[in-house]
Amino acid sequence: MAQNPTGINERNMGLLCQSYMDRKKGNRRLPRLAKGQLWKLKHVYIHIVQLGKRLLEYRMLDDLNESGARTKTSSIDTMWEYLKSRGAQLVRADSEAANGSAH
């Protein structure tokens, strides 16, 4: 069996094509989800409260000054797809700022 001198196989070619198409469309890669992040959607904010292996806890806020929002649970994959499909933008990445603690 002959070796491919370029090292490109069908799987790699698919990844290369997808990467090219993403750049061509202007798609951007979102940063990894992490505890304390605050994401801005069109009309709401999503604050990541806890992050586990497969699940995360989050709060959906209408306003940054809102208190008492319920903590909800979602799979990481589901939240990731939700943020991507809605064009979410990362507002804050550190946990102290995202908790809204203004002392």
Number of H helices, E strands in the chain: 3, 5
Q: Which residue has the tokens 């959906």?
A: 60
The predicted pLDDT at position 102 comes to 39
Measured CA to CA in angstroms, residue 28 lies from 5, 8, 53 at distances of 31, 24, 24
- Residue 6 in this model has a pLDDT that exceeds 80: no
Domains of the chain, by residue range, sit at 33-98
Work out the pLDDT band at 68, boundaries 50, 70, 90. Answer: confident
Please report the sign of the dihedral spanned by the C-alpha atoms of residue 38, residue 40, residue 26, residue 11.
Answer: positive
> Of 14-18, 49-53, 85-89, where does mean pLDDT reach its minimum?
14-18
The three-class DSSP label of residue 60 is: strand
C-beta separation of 39 from 56 below 8 A: no
